[in-house]
Structure 1
């Protein structure tokens, strides 16, 4: 990790910064909790008045019925405050958890798209998409829970402060004895801190691995059934679940033991205080029966606060583990980006948000491509010498350049480095003679569009997959469908563009998925089209139709950079680049490269 991560602010500062994300909601929530938690102070005074009235020592002389009515009124008000507090607390929870997930997702989107995420041990072990889900779920929920508890701190503080003020006015010695258990609670949490963090991190990691395996099983279910590996896979799944059960059991048992210690410390303190009070009364002090009843009444709240304080310290330690885990997904970004304030379009306190319009790709003089050149492009995968080395590339407007080579020669890597999906170690890229910083934010429509070897589709309708929020004319959409040779397939679908295509396009064939991805590119009419083996799942005739229509298109003049082995496309190319072990082995036109036997296979 970089130095910026070693200078991470303390957990309490991160939590407080998140609390300030919704200051009005936070303030309302705290005020409600102050009244809801602070109101029980008054019944204690009424109870003392009641007992002193019975013994004839009450200065105010309230009737018993007056006291009962006041107690009922305070009870109803407190119930109303608690109900309202649940509403505002839920709003606060949802706001802060949404902010965390938004910032984490934004950080992942800002990273080079083709680089893998890294696991918590800072090794090169990658984290799957299924494992990442556990970060968004478990760690965010842990931090959300801690922040929800912070909202009730002012209420607890008020009731304890009010109780202490009243009890100090009665007996200083007994009151000071009340807070001795706090020292014990702090000592216990400090002693158990290391093991507490270890158990929590181990349980989260075990859950993360199980979640990742479930995701992988759903993805590879066809392969598992074909190879007859169901039994072995299920046994592995049971083993991982058993490991998760054991780690979570250790974590829960330790947490339960500490919570039990906190409760018992408070109970022991209560017993000691009652002994002191009874001895004081038997020694003939001024402590009345009403004062004793007040002590007993307030002790329950103070004991509850001691338990609350211990549990809150546990939550803070566990939230520190969650912040450390989430920081591993941020890579070089500081942890502050995780709690940075950004606008979320949520309904807060009943107010519906106004959603911003989806940004449409806008064309200008800078977006037009006349020439794209790259020099000395170099990238090596971490811990290996695999990658690309010193590759030069030149694309001119309207041209077709094909990259070819054997499996593992670096074709896909070259495309990803050029598009900023992998960070180049050396080299420079120029768009129309101007040097650019390659990033996924630059090579987007209307400048460029990219289709990988395995296109990704959303689990929604066909039309929504093509538009992705883009406002497009119906004629333009039909033209893009025709360019991708998809109009006949569309005609066989009863619901046409409203057809649900299933998870990642599972209801479509491989060739249909690729042509849907191609249509999604064509409808945006980008200057540069980058295909990574687009026609691998297409039959020869469909491929010929697609390329013939694209090159004959009059709507715009695209420049094409394609990875392919198909002779029909290689023969069309103005330039062919042959890669071998990440380096350019040869380049030229089809007639110049007949010595490479694999080009004819």
Structure 2
């Protein structure tokens, strides 16, 4: 919670000024009934026009001061609360970006979206209400009770007693409602996650005719949110009647007892009018406090969820752990004032690597993996679904950290690079193609914003994307929607490949990057990649097709996280039955015979 409150500090001045203006407004409201008392008892009852005019002008002046106080409070409260919300939203987003894949896996996408939007909006609104209501309501309520006591002590004590009882009842209701609002936010997470999944996967839903099933599933999740919200609303509904009942009873008591005091000439009519107005002010202040408490309960649940993200420490950071291979060289360079290590040659080595996903049961995803890729060489990786292919390459840019063993790049453990420097040396085409809303050129320049137009076009040609890029009316300026809407699967893959080639990193990773390409386009792409890798680029190709990796310097076959076989295409045909069967299935018996 402290990390959430820390975002108020830059706006603390406005945060403190707003209540001061609100206090001025409350004081002006408290003075009005007292002026009215004199106006009635001295001016109206005696027909003294001078007193009536004087007090009338005085009331207008006090009202003007109250208006200035209210406007000033609203202005400064808006500035501080909106600034607080904007900074907090940026802070949460920065934290999410800094988290590793393993850290983000703890949250659903819908949950993170809810925390970035509705939770922070709830905190913004509550912050504004606190600056305006938390000062005004107590000042107005206590001030009205004190002013009532100054007129009649018995009436003031009665008002104080009823107010205390009402506050206790409201506090008990709030205590019961707090866990309900926490559950509401959790249900809202589930609704957002379901909506996000269905919107992003709408084509799949329609292709498998699962719309009816998904509608029923969403309806069930939405129903849970509805029921939880109704329970919370039912509980909170008691607060309003409790305040109204208490204040109405107080009004009856004051009017009954006040009538007796007026009849006995102990009080005047104007004083009874003032006390009635003060009761109204106490009723208003208690209602405002109840409304504020409702929002505080909701904000408490939201603040806890936002704080959970802010307090999540990234499991993958720049600071190196214990000394391992390459650490001494990195430390020596740092001590001498030299620049931190950067990826230059593209040499990659795995040393007895084990990896298990956090919280995963069963066998590790990778076990005892050791391999070496020389600079400028190409490694092909084949294996069945779940064999650990993508997991293996995700360890190179430190999307995850090894459970045991080491991953070295240019002879230095990847944990001893700065993350930015390490990832600047690795260009990767992920298995799931990700494009962003914008033009084709904007997507291409993600990894190389300073690339020239000629360099962009060269990358497009190498990725075999020039045909459809040049066929569009706007060329590179053609707009594509979120996730590449408007492009086919093969076109999205080719744009993604071109983006990675344009970066010209020493290490290029293609994770099933040509799965949506036809054989002819893939053949042209392979030829272009051969010319690209002649520039001393280390290339790792994950594929399901043998043709994608058969020209690699070395091919490894992964099975259940182990390296089951390794060698060149010809060597594996002779020594690995699984590889030979895959070749026979994809290429035919004749191709296998030629390979042998």
* TM-score tier (shorter): 0.7 to 0.9
Is it true that 1:222 corresponds to 2:203 in the alignment? Answer: yes
Deviation at 1:40, TM superposition (A): 1.5
1:70 to 58, 68, 71: 58
Partner of 2:362: 385
Partner of 1:358: none
1:501 to 471, 480, 484: 480
TM norm structure 2: 0.83
Q: What aligned pairs does 1:424-463 form with structure 2 within 5 A after superposition?
A: 424-437=402-415, 441-442=419-420, 445-463=423-441
- Following the alignment from structure 1 to structure 2, what is the Cα–Cα distance between the partners of residues 533 and 14? 41
Q: 1:478 to 1:532 in 2, by over 3 A?
A: same
Is it true that 1:422 corresponds to 2:403 in the alignment? Answer: no
Deviation at 1:115, TM superposition (A): 5.9
Q: Is the 8 A contact 2:23 2:69 kept in 1?
A: no
Question: Is the deviation greater in 569-578 or in 532-541?
Answer: 569-578
Q: Is the 8 A contact 2:11 2:80 kept in 1?
A: yes
Q: Is the 8 A contact 2:4 2:307 kept in 1?
A: no
Partner of 1:40: 29
Q: 1:190 to 1:377 in 2, by over 3 A?
A: farther
Question: Is the deviation greater in 409-418 or in 550-559?
Answer: 550-559
Q: 1:446 to 1:232 in 2, by over 3 A?
A: closer
Is it true that 1:109 corresponds to 2:92 in the alignment? Answer: no
Deviation at 1:599, TM superposition (A): 4.3
Partner of 2:272: 292
Question: Is the deviation greater in 73-82 or in 88-97?
Answer: 73-82
User: How far does the alpha carbon of each residue in 1:326-359 deviate from its partner, in whole angstroms, 9 at most, with x for none?
Assistant: 455567449xxxxxxxxxxxxxxxxxxxxxxxxx
- Following the alignment from structure 2 to structure 1, what is the Cα–Cα distance between the partners of residues 253 and 6? 40
Partner of 1:246: 227
Q: What aligned pairs does 1:154-553 form with structure 2 within 5 A after superposition?
A: 154-160=135-141, 162-193=143-174, 195-285=176-266, 287-327=267-307, 329=309, 332-333=312-313, 366-381=342-357, 382-386=359-363, 387-437=365-415, 441-442=419-420, 445-468=423-446, 470-553=449-532
Partner of 1:340: none
Partner of 2:580: 597
Question: What SS does the aligned partner of 1:418 have?
Answer: coil
Deviation at 1:445, TM superposition (A): 4.8
Question: What SS does the aligned partner of 2:101 have?
Answer: coil
Question: What SS does the aligned partner of 1:584 have?
Answer: strand
Deviation at 1:447, TM superposition (A): 1.6
> For this pair of structures, how many residues does the alignment match?
552
Bigger helix fraction: 2
Question: Is the deviation greater in 258-267 or in 158-167?
Answer: 158-167
User: How far does the alpha carbon of each residue in 1:102-148 deviate from its partner, in whole angstroms, 9 at most, with x for none?
Assistant: 232223222222665446xxxxxxx3x24433333332232222212
Q: 1:57 to 1:406 in 2, by over 3 A?
A: same
Deviation at 1:507, TM superposition (A): 0.5
- Aligned CA-pair RMSD: 3.2
Question: Is the deviation greater in 177-186 or in 494-503?
Answer: 177-186
Partner of 1:354: none
Question: What SS does the aligned partner of 2:372 have?
Answer: strand
Q: Is the 8 A contact 1:38 1:156 kept in 2?
A: no
User: How far does the alpha carbon of each residue in 1:261-317 deviate from its partner, in whole angstroms, 9 at most, with x for none?
Assistant: 2343344344444545444444553x4433333322222222222222233233222
Q: 1:372 to 1:15 in 2, by over 3 A?
A: closer
Q: Is the 8 A contact 2:398 2:414 kept in 1?
A: no
Q: Is the 8 A contact 2:469 2:476 kept in 1?
A: yes
Is it true that 1:100 corresponds to 2:83 in the alignment? Answer: no
Q: 1:273 to 1:476 in 2, by over 3 A?
A: farther
User: How far does the alpha carbon of each residue in 1:561-591 deviate from its partner, in whole angstroms, 9 at most, with x for none?
Assistant: 2212333332221222221101111222222
Q: 1:75 to 1:186 in 2, by over 3 A?
A: closer
Deviation at 1:64, TM superposition (A): 1.7
- Following the alignment from structure 1 to structure 2, what is the Cα–Cα distance between the partners of residues 378 and 182? 66
Q: Is the 8 A contact 2:194 2:218 kept in 1?
A: yes
Is it true that 1:584 corresponds to 2:563 in the alignment? Answer: yes
Q: Is the 8 A contact 2:507 2:538 kept in 1?
A: yes
Q: Is the 8 A contact 1:53 1:62 kept in 2?
A: no
Q: Is the 8 A contact 1:402 1:561 kept in 2?
A: yes
- Following the alignment from structure 2 to structure 1, what is the Cα–Cα distance between the partners of residues 569 and 397? 26
Partner of 1:146: 126
Structure 1 unaligned segments of length 5 or more: list them: 1-8, 120-126, 335-362
Higher RCO, 1 vs 2 (CA within 8 Å, ≥6 residues apart): 1
Q: 1:518 to 1:168 in 2, by over 3 A?
A: same
- Following the alignment from structure 1 to structure 2, what is the Cα–Cα distance between the partners of residues 438 and 249? 53
- Following the alignment from structure 2 to structure 1, what is the Cα–Cα distance between the partners of residues 435 and 386? 25
Question: Is the deviation greater in 251-260 or in 157-166?
Answer: 157-166
Q: 1:392 to 1:37 in 2, by over 3 A?
A: farther
- Following the alignment from structure 1 to structure 2, what is the Cα–Cα distance between the partners of residues 21 and 63? 49
Question: Is the deviation greater in 71-80 or in 495-504?
Answer: 71-80
Partner of 1:123: none
- Following the alignment from structure 2 to structure 1, what is the Cα–Cα distance between the partners of residues 568 and 498? 28
Q: 1:580 to 1:488 in 2, by over 3 A?
A: same
